[in-house]
Structures are given as C-alpha cells and as structure tokens.
Amino acid sequence: MPRIVVDVMPKPEILDPQGKAIVGALPRLGFTAFSGVRQGKRFELTVDGEVTEEILEQARNAASTMLSNPVIEDVVNVEVLAEDTEAERA
C-alpha cells in the first residue's frame, strides 16, 4: 500500500534542546563533521488504493493542522514514498 511521508521540523528560530544535546555528544563518539543538529518528526501515512491529488491535498491539510504546531514548526516535505524504499526496509 502506498505511503505519504510528512516531514515536520522546528522553525529555525525556535530553540531545539534535543538537537543541542546531540550535537554536543557527537564529538565524544568521534563524529566531528557536524556543526549543528535539529530534530523533527517524520510521519508515514498509509493509503488504501492509489494516491490521488485529492488525497495528497488531504495529507497536506492534515500536516498543517494536526501533525504540526504552526507556531513552532514548519511542514518541510509532503511526498509519496517511492515503492523501492519499501523493499529496502522489508
């Protein structure tokens, strides 16, 4: 069954304590290449049958009204998950 991915990230100006904690810990584990980390949410919405434009629009509306808090978060991506990544995870 096809899935729609919705990615939600904290707005750039919002403090991200989790991201700060991670970027502080990374060098201690030898990961020195990263100067910043931000943590957001990733949703996979399963759709019965085909993903039509109307369903994609429903996903966009659900993303902006229910899956994110527009005061502190941005919806940065809403797209149909390519089927091959299905095989990768199986």
The binding site for a copy of itself (CB under 8 A) comprises: 1, 4, 7-9, 12, 19, 22, 25-26, 29, 31-48, 54-55, 58-59, 61-62, 65-67, 74, 76-77, 85, 88-89
Minimum CB distance to a copy of itself, residue 58 (Å):
5
Task: For 51, list phi and psi in degrees, rounded to 5.
Answer: -90, 110
CB of 7 to a copy of itself, least distance (A): 5
CB closer to a copy of itself out of 34 and 69: 34
**Distance of alpha carbon 83 from alpha carbon 67, whole angstroms:** 23
Output DSSP code: residue 89. Answer: H
* Element (DSSP H or E) covering residue 8: strand 3-10
Contact 37, 22 (CB under 8 A): yes
How near is the Cβ of 71 to a copy of itself at its closest, in Å? 16
